[in-house]
Amino acid sequence: MKELQKSHPGVRIIAITGVDLFNLLVAFDLGAVRVLEKPLPILEIIKTVKELLA
């Protein structure tokens, strides 16, 4: 994610992880603006993407 942010400043990253709290915190530390926990319905992903694009 750090490399993605370097090459594309301002990119908003959505991370999807399991229920492991450590991975959730790491995703935020690496620059994710949202972290979704699996399992999740596809509509939750669509909703999150729409919110970030608005």
Here the tokens at position 38 are 């699996």
The pLDDT confidence band at residue 50, using thresholds 50, 70 and 90, is: very high
Q: How many domains in the chain?
A: 1
Structural domain of 29: 2-53
Those residues whose C-beta lies under 8 Å from the C-beta of residue 49, and which sit 6 or more positions away, are: 14
If you ran DSSP here, which 8-state letter would residue 20 be given?
Answer: -
What pLDDT digit, counting tens, does each position of 4-44 carry? 888 999 899 998 888 778 888 888 899 899 999 888 999 99
The pLDDT confidence band at residue 45, using thresholds 50, 70 and 90, is: very high
pTM: 0.73
